[in-house]
């Protein structure tokens, strides 16, 4: 029996995902070919909410997670169903549950959709805002000339107030707690572009199961974005994943000349509003579809 709008079939239980479920959750994301490690799942357990479906006392066979940010925005992600349980409406049930929970908390649901999920999300009231592409490649070793007089340096403790404000303007909400987690995960990628004491760009990153993710990456212009990206990748091993908004055609073309290839498209979607949050002109790489 499949899930319906009214509920789950007999024997299927919805409950919070627990720390003891991390091994099963990692198995689900690994089965899907995704890049998460245990630290990614802990973000949702500690900063957000995660739900799973089980059959009785069995291990989770499906998951979904939400990550609220200050203001009125929250992210939905980690919608996973093991292969043997697909096509029974479980993903749709989980999406509806997350959406309704966020709306009840006066939060606007948003997400980055894979092609497989986009049609489901549109049917639940989400609308396209803009698209991006995952680019995968190796180290960026091309020197950048004239970085607009910006100095690229490691992130320092005194940078956090400026960094939080800069990211909030680019992303559309304050997500300082998440950014601090990323800075701890991959210090080599935690960089600031500084011009006369003002932040004009930054990058963060994180380790992954099969590749290292660089993002978010935000900058005043593409020259600064290239300078930060070059420095960030200098000490990171391949493969590297960078999710670049499609509007940044020159950056995408530059990365292609360095051997980066497009792996999959993503679509940023928002529920129930025609407004576009943030400033995608300054956001040169997202933090990943699971984090925004």
Indicate if the pLDDT at residue 2 is higher than 80: no
Distance CA 64, CA 52 (A): 7
> Which DSSP category does 157 fall into?
G
The stretch 164-185 carries a mean pLDDT of: 96
The stretch 259-285 carries a mean pLDDT of: 87
Structure tokens at 285: 């790489």
In the prediction, which pLDDT does 142 show? 55
In the prediction, which pLDDT does 72 show? 85
Q: Cα-Cα-Cα-Cα dihedral of 144, 279, 210, 63, to 10°?
A: 180
**In the CATH hierarchy, which fold is given to the domain comprising 12-106?**
Aminopeptidase (3.40.630)
SS3 state at 121:
helix
Share of the chain above pLDDT 70, in %: 94
For domain 133-285, the CATH superfamily is Gcn5-related N-acetyltransferase (GNAT) (3.40.630.30)
SS3 state at 110:
strand
Distance CA 169, CA 3 (A): 39
In the prediction, which pLDDT does 185 show? 96
pLDDT band at 199 (very low <50, low <70, confident <90, very high): very high
User: Tens digit of pLDDT for each residue in 63-88?
Assistant: 999 999 987 899 999 999 999 999 99
- Taking the alpha carbons at both ends of the chain, their separation in whole angstroms is 34
In the prediction, which pLDDT does 119 show? 86
Do residues 65 and 48 touch, judged by C-beta distance below 8 A? Answer: yes
In the prediction, which pLDDT does 272 show? 85
**Ranges of each domain in the chain:** 12-106, 133-285
Do residues 159 and 152 touch, judged by C-beta distance below 8 A? Answer: no
Distance CA 254, CA 156 (A): 29
Same topology, domains 12-106 and 133-285? Answer is yes
The pTM is what?
0.92
Distance CA 282, CA 247 (A): 11
In the prediction, which pLDDT does 111 show? 96
Share of the chain above pLDDT 90, in %: 80
Structure tokens at 201: 């760009």
In the prediction, which pLDDT does 6 show? 61
CA distances from 211 to 114, 126, 242, 250 (A): 18, 29, 10, 24
User: Tens digit of pLDDT for each residue in 120-159?
Assistant: 899 999 999 999 999 999 876 655 555 557 899 999 999 9
Buried/exposed 45-83: b ≥16 CB within 10 Å, e otherwise = beebbbbbbbeeeeebbbbbbbbbbeeebbbbbbbbbbe
The stretch 234-261 carries a mean pLDDT of: 93
In the prediction, which pLDDT does 188 show? 94
Which of 117, 130, 125 lies closest to 99, judged by CA?
125
């Amino acid at each position: 029996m499949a899930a319906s709008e009214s509920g789950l079939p007999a024997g299927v239980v919805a409950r919070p995902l627990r720390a003891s479920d991390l091994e099963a959750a990692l198995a689900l994301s690994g089965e899907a070919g995704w890049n998460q490690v245990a630290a990614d799942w802990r973000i949702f357990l500690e900063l957000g909410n995660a739900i799973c479906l089980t059959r009785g006392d069995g291990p989770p066979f499906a998951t979904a997670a939400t990550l609220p940010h200050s203001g009125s925005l929250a992210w939905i992600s980690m919608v996973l169903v093991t292969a043997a349980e697909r096509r029974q409406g479980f993903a749709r049930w989980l999406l509806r549950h997350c959406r309704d929970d966020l709306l009840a908390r006066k939060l606007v649901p948003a997400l980055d959709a894979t092609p497989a999920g986009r049609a489901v999300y549109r049917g639940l009231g989400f609308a396209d805002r803009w698209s991006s592409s995952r680019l995968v490649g190796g180290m960026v070793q091309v020197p950048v000339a004239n970085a607009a007089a910006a100095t690229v340096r490691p992130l320092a403790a005194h940078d956090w107030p400026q960094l939080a404000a800069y990211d909030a303007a680019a992303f559309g909400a304050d997500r300082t707690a998440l950014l601090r987690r990323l800075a701890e995960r991959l210090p080599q990628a935690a960089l600031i572009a500084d011009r006369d004491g003002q932040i004009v760009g930054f990058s963060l990153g994180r380790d992954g199961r099969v590749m290292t993710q660089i993002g978010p990456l935000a900058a005043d212009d593409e020259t600064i974005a290239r300078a930060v990206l070059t420095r960030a990748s200098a000490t990171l091993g391949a493969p590297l994943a960078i999710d670049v908004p499609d509007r940044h055609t020159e950056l995408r073309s530059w990365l292609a000349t360095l051997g980066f290839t497009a792996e999959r498209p993503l679509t940023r979607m928002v529920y129930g509003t025609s407004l576009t949050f943030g400033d995608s002109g300054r956001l040169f790489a997202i933090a990943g579809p699971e984090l925004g």
